Amino acid sequence: MTKDTLKAIQPLSWPTTAAFVDDSAAFLSNLSLQLDPELAFRLFSSPTEALRFLNGRAALDQPASPIFSPYLDRTEENDAHQVIAMRVDAIRSLVHRSTRFESVSVVVVDYDMPELNGIEFCRRLANPAIKKIVLTGKADEHVAVKSFNEGVIDRFIRKHEIDAVETLNQTIRDMQAAFFDKTCSAVLDALAVSEYAFLKDCGLARHVQGIFESLGIVEHYLSYQPHGLLMFDAQGCSYLLILHTDESLRGVREIAVEQGAPAAFLDELDSHRAVPYFWRTEGYYPAQCAEWQPYMHEASVFESDRRYTYAIVKKPAGFALDNVLPYDTYLQQVDREIQTVWDSH
C-alpha cells in the first residue's frame, strides 16, 4: 500500500510468512532466488503436505485474537445483550509473541498440479484470513478468472509473463498488508470516537508512513499511556512514537499543575518543542519530581485534521523489550531451515 492510498494507520502490523506450493521443486528453487530478500517464506513441492501444514496451524495464524473477548456486564440482566470488550493493552503485548512472524498470511499456489489443482487447494484451506494467489498458464486462465470472480482466490498471476516475478513480489506485499485488514478494521471502528481517533487521519497516516520508511520500521503496535505507536526495525531496535493532540496535551498539563510542576516545565510543554515521557508514571508528571528535564524529548508539530505534537524515543524505557525476537533473526532461521530441506533432497 502506497502513501497515496493510505486511509488509516493500522493499529498493529508485523511481517508474516508466505507459503509457495508447486509440484516442481526445481521451479520453487529458481523462484526463491527471485523473491524479495526481506520476505519470509516456506516452500512445498507437495500440495497435500502444504495443506496438512497450513491447516494444522490455522488457529495459530489468526491475527491478534486476544484483543477482543466477551464482556459480561454485571448490571445487565438481559442475556441477549452481549458486549464485546477490547483490550488496547493486548495489542502492544503481541510483540512478546515469538511466533508472530510464523503466521502464514499469503499462499502462492500453482494451478496445474497432479495431486490437486490450485483452485481446489485454495478451497480446502481452513484459515479464511489467508490471502490466496494462483499462478496460472494460458490453458487454465479462464478457470482462474472465474475463481477470482467467485471470491475463491484473491489474485491470479499469469506464469509466463515477462514481469511475473515483479508482479508477484508486489502482490505479496499488498496481500500481506491486507491480511491484517479485518482485525485492524474492527479495532479502528471501536476506537473511532476515542483518544485514538488519530488512527483514521489520512494525512497523519501518510506522515507516519514516512517515519516508518525513514527508520526502517517493519512492525508496530498501538501504544497506550502514552498514546502512539511502539515500533521496531528489522534488527529489533525499538522506538516509541508519542503522539499528542492539543486536547491530550492539555490533560498532561492539568495533571502537571496538580502535581506542582515548575513553571519551566509548563513553558516547555506549551512551546510544543518537547513532550515528556514519564515512563514510571504512565506518561504523567510524577509527584515531587525534582529533575524533569531527562524525561523530555524533542518534538515536532504536524497539522492535518488536527494539530499533532509528536516525539520519537529510541529504545524507550519501561517496556521490557530485551527478549523481543527481531525479524532479521527469524529470516535467518527460515533460511537455514529451507537450506536444510533442499540439501536433503
95 and 12 in contact (C-beta within 8 Å)? Answer: no
Residue type, 194: S
Alpha-carbon gap, residue 74 to 86, rounded angstroms: 17
pLDDT for 193 = 72
At 297, is the secondary structure helix, strand, or coil? Answer: strand
Please give the model's pTM, rounded to 2 decimal places: 0.89
**DSSP tag of 215:** H
DSSP labels, 91-156: HHHGGG-TTGGG-EEEEEEES--SSS-HHHHHHT-S-TTSEEEEEE-GGGHHHHHHHHHTTS-SEE
In the chain, alpha helices (H) = 25-32, 47-56, 88-93, 118-123, 141-149, 164-179, 181-190, 202-215, 246-258, 263-271, 327-344
pLDDT for 190 = 83
Helix axes 263-271, 246-258, angle to 10 degrees: 180
pLDDT for 231 = 98
Residue type, 284: Y
At 9, is the secondary structure helix, strand, or coil? Answer: coil
Show contacts of 260-268: CB within 8 Å, 24+ apart: 260/287, 260/288, 261/285, 261/289, 261/292, 262/292, 265/292, 268/296
Fold annotation for 14-183+326-344: Rossmann fold (3.40.50)
Segments of the chain scoring below 50 in pLDDT: none
Alpha-carbon gap, residue 115 to 49, rounded angstroms: 11
pLDDT for 263 = 95
Task: Give 290-336 pLDDT, tens digit per residue.
Answer: 899 999 999 999 999 999 999 999 999 988 899 999 999 999 999 88
Q: Which residues contact 11 (CB under 8 A, 6 or more apart)?
A: 91, 184, 187, 188, 191, 196, 199, 221, 222
| Other C-beta atoms lying within 10 Å of the C-beta of residue 301 | 11
Q: Could you tell me the residue ranges of all domains in the chain? A: 14-183+326-344, 196-314
Task: Give 162-197 pLDDT, tens digit per residue.
Answer: 899 999 999 999 999 999 888 788 888 888 777 899
Q: Which residues contact 323 (CB under 8 A, 6 or more apart)?
A: 96
Alpha-carbon gap, residue 103 to 192, rounded angstroms: 28
